[in-house]
Amino acid sequence: MLVLFETPAGYSLFKVADAKKLAKTEPDDIFDTFFADEKKASKSIQLVSFQPFEDTADAVTAATSPIEGKVSKTLKSFLKKKLKKSAESALAVADKTMAVSLKESSVTEKGDLKIVSDKKSHEIFRGIRCYMDQLLGSGADGSEGGISPDDMKAMQLGLSHSLSRYKLKFSADKVDTMVIQAVGLLDELDKEINTYAMRVKEWYGWHFPELQALVPDNASYSQLVLACGMRTSFKDQDLSSILEDEAQEGAVKEAAEISMGTEIADLDILNISSLAKQVLSLTEYRSQLFEYLKNRMNAIAPNLTILVGELVGARLISHAGSLMNLAKQPASTVQILGAEKALFRALKTKHDTPKYGLIYHASLIGQAAPKHKGKISRVLAAKAALAIRVDALSDETAVADTTIGFEGRAKVEARLRQLDGGTFVTSTLSAQKTAKYDAVAAKSAASGTSYNAASDIAMDIETPKKDKKEKKDKKRSRESMESKATEDGDKSAKKSKKSKKDRVEDAVNGDDEDKKSAKKAKKEKKEKRKSQE
């Protein structure tokens, strides 16, 4: 029995010395029997051959091939060369997927060679790992040595680093983790800015309460607090750089003169101003972060961005966990992504399920009328699911193709206009018919015959109307016939019921008359007998 053992340095092939003893031994006793100490291990199993990797890239390929269910070229050539010379009937491997891959790849020319991966082979691999440095030190005949422990440690370190980089698959343009972190921070910044701005308005409102109603914008409010301080300074300050509307500026100055707020100290203004600075700095950073998010979304998912926008697209990716996870979801899931609580509550209470989740905040759904939002969200989710798959599965080196995004947005907008009763949207069937009649008209013009395509198109348009009318008439006549048949059936049923009743009564009356006649006959017989006596 041969044992294929993989190491960071290369492939090694071991041979079990006593296969018959191994077959008789139970799996739980194999380690104690064959690997109790170093001497037993070296006698029980011997190194037949060792195939080192050419470089780290070869080692990474060998390590990742079993994960993908493949057999590397290095392993194929190694096994074909060594198994030709061997007369063993079984080959033990550590992984079941590797066993299946080896069977399918037909690396062995012998049909009777078994690929084994069971409890016994696992115990053998545990013993080899325990005495790996000693067993790999030299070959069975001393001619084909293995690798030293120091070289093995260096190869382990290099392979671990390379394998980690391979698993990360880092790409500066296709890292959706950056989008997930950015949109999460953006939402947190919005909460913090609102909290701080509310605190500034409440704090400064004791001194100038009318300003909050006149200037609702958080950034403008904080700038006025920093620029003026006390409300008495408003009339002397030029507020045109902060407030673009002159009427608003005049209203603020007038309200500052007649304000009913309380007086506060300079120390209070100092603390309020420092908080207002925090609001402005966070607002500025938020705008920078939003620009960064827009650039990342245009690089990672351009088609999705065209359909639903940067923020909604980023929230969908963040909610799914990654762009690839989102691409695996069907359109129905994309539509209600973010409304899981409402969905499960509706399923539990047997109510209507939600029509939209995070996708509700897309601009196209916002343009729809309330009664059409569900239909538009379904159409938009279908187009978005297609766009996500194009973004996730397209070639990274290729230039971003946004054709799918623009076409999907155009179709959603056309559907939106159709639902709102706007422009007529030509169906695919009518477009095909128009093209067909145009081709016939072109042929007739070339042959010199006259042909009116417009009349045929009009006839085709009128034909469905006639068909609909005929169907309606047939339906009405069928319904009237059914109703008439139902009435006739009811009448006949009543008649049949009535006749049946009469028959029963007649039968009962007849029975009574027969009984009376029988009694009368008996009575007459009795009277005759008496008279004879």
Q: What angle is formed at CA 299 by the lines to CA 297 and CA 301, rounded to 5 degrees?
A: 55
CB of 364 closer than 8 Å to CB of 413? yes
User: Does residue 75 sit in the same domain as residue 189?
Assistant: no
CB of 98 closer than 8 Å to CB of 66? yes
Residue 194 belongs to domain with CATH number:
1.10.287.4070
User: Does residue 92 sit in the same domain as residue 236?
Assistant: no
What pLDDT score does 365 carry? 93
What pLDDT score does 144 carry? 46
Q: Within a domain: residue 502?
A: no
Residue 314 belongs to domain with CATH number:
1.10.246.90
The count of domains in the chain is 3
| C-alpha torsion sign, points 378, 383, 387, 389 | positive
User: Does residue 35 sit in the same domain as residue 157?
Assistant: yes
Element (H, E) at 4: strand 2-6
Q: Which of 420, 449, 477 is the last residue of a domain?
A: 420
Of 418, 355, 359, the closest CA to residue 384 belongs to 359
What pLDDT score does 3 carry? 83
Q: For residues 303 and 327, give the distance between their C-alpha atoms in angstroms, rounded to a whole number.
A: 12
User: Does residue 81 sit in the same domain as residue 140?
Assistant: yes
Residue 505 corresponds to which tokens in the numbers above? Answer: 């009564």
From first to last of the 533 residues of the chain, give the pLDDT tens digit.
788 888 888 888 888 887 778 888 888 888 888 888 888 888 888 888 888 888 878 888 877 777 776 777 778 778 877 777 666 677 888 777 777 777 776 665 555 677 878 888 888 888 888 887 777 765 444 444 557 777 778 888 888 877 776 665 544 445 788 899 999 999 999 999 999 999 999 999 999 999 999 999 999 999 999 988 888 888 888 888 888 888 888 899 899 988 888 998 989 999 999 999 999 999 999 999 999 999 999 989 999 999 999 999 999 999 998 898 999 999 999 999 999 999 999 999 999 999 999 999 999 999 999 999 999 999 999 999 999 999 988 865 444 688 999 999 999 999 999 998 855 444 444 445 445 545 555 555 555 554 444 445 444 444 444 555 666 666 676 666 666 555 555 555 444 444 544 554 555 455 555 666 777 777 787 787 777 76
User: Does residue 338 sit in the same domain as residue 266?
Assistant: no
User: Does residue 158 sit in the same domain as residue 20?
Assistant: yes
User: Does residue 8 sit in the same domain as residue 137?
Assistant: yes
Distance of CA 32 to the CA centre of its chain: 51
What pLDDT score does 342 carry? 92
User: Does residue 330 sit in the same domain as residue 381?
Assistant: yes
Q: What angle is formed at CA 311 by the lines to CA 308 and CA 315, rounded to 5 degrees?
A: 95
Residue 228 corresponds to which tokens in the numbers above? Answer: 């003026």
Using one digit for the tens of pLDDT, what is the confidence trace for 182-213? 999 999 999 999 999 999 999 999 999 999 99
Residue 109 belongs to domain with CATH number:
3.30.420.220
User: Does residue 67 sit in the same domain as residue 126?
Assistant: yes
Q: Within a domain: residue 518?
A: no
Q: Within a domain: residue 490?
A: no
Q: What residue numbers bound the domain in which 125 lies?
A: 2-168
Q: For residues 90 and 520, give the distance between their C-alpha atoms in angstroms, rounded to a whole number.
A: 111
User: Does residue 281 sit in the same domain as residue 305?
Assistant: no
Side chain identity at 88, as an amino acid letter? E
Half-sphere exposure of 474 (CA within 13 A, CB side): 6
Cβ neighbors of 203 (< 8 A, separation 6 or more) are 272, 275
Side chain identity at 22, as an amino acid letter? L
What pLDDT score does 483 carry? 65
User: Does residue 161 sit in the same domain as residue 181?
Assistant: no
Q: How far is CA 24 from CA 21, 119, 123, 305, in A?
A: 5, 14, 14, 66
Q: Within a domain: residue 521?
A: no
What pLDDT score does 107 carry? 62
User: Does residue 208 sit in the same domain as residue 238?
Assistant: yes
Q: Which of 142, 168, 194 is the last residue of a domain?
A: 168
